[in-house]
A and B are shown apart, each in its own frame.
Chain A
Amino acid sequence: MWTEGNTACKTENMYEEVLNQLPYKSSFRFVDTIISLDENGVVGEYTLRPDAFFYEDHFPGNPVTPGVILTEIMAQIGLVVLGIYLLMQAGLSPEKKIIPLFTSSQVDFHKLVLPGEKLKVVSKKQYFRFNKLKCTVEMMNEKNETVARGIFSGMMIQSNNNPL
């Protein structure tokens, strides 16, 4: 029992450490919770805030979550959370900042997402090589319906240089 509790505690601390490394603040941070995370993939959740800045104008009187925000949620959980973990496994330099660079995505949307909905993102690693992470990412709503799915890539950089 002690060992199990200890392992769960260690895992929670690791998730907390990954979340603390996310470079986003307040209105542009789209990760609430990590459900599971290992070298092959990640599952995480985010609940859309009904007072988020984009609902007022998208669309006036008819708030719908923009596709670009759904894409960002998938990228932050599916690529950045997993990418930070993979960099940590490889030995992160604490004095350097992590700069995630979104390099490409191909996404299909299946359902509208309204204010207040809770989304689950499931990402599976295709490869992580030369700092490029490529994943297949699927996002589900609370009814477990697929909201969007796609292929996402990004570069995980630890410096101030823009390598693109």
Chain B
Amino acid sequence: MTREDILEELKKVLAHYTPDKETLNSIGPETDFVNDLKINSANMVDIIIEAEERYDIEIDMDSAEKIHNIGSCVDVILEKINEKK
């Protein structure tokens, strides 16, 4: 599981939540969920839960608080996947 794999899957999930499809096509690590993709914190909870189910991981409160942009989201998912190994 590479960063690129996770990013591609994340894009598919985000398509259900962001009203801004154009930004989605050009996302990078610095793309912010709230300011760039216009996703609120309530939808962030659903995105985190989807990630947990997809990768069979558990994201705790401390890790969730680190998630602000695409880069930190991929970091947390990778970290939790590696913890399982």
B57 within 8 A of A: no
Beta-carbon nearest neighbor of B52 in chain A:
A129
Beta-carbon nearest neighbor of A127 in chain B:
B49
Beta-carbon nearest neighbor of A155 in chain B:
B42
Main secondary structure of the interface of A (DSSP, over half): strand
> When each residue 26-52 of chain B gets 1 if its CB lies under 8 Å from chain A and 0 otherwise, what string results?
000000000000001110110011000
- Bound-state Cα–Cα, A130 to B46, Å: 10
Interface residues in B, total, Cβ within 8 A: 9
Interface size class of A (residues with CB under 8 A): 10 to 19
Q: Are A130 and B45 touching (Cβ within 8 A)?
A: yes
Residues of chain B within 8 A of A163, CB atoms compared: 41
Q: Are B64 and A130 touching (Cβ within 8 A)?
A: yes
> Which A residues fall within an 8 A CB radius of B?
101, 103-104, 127, 129-130, 132, 153-155, 163-164
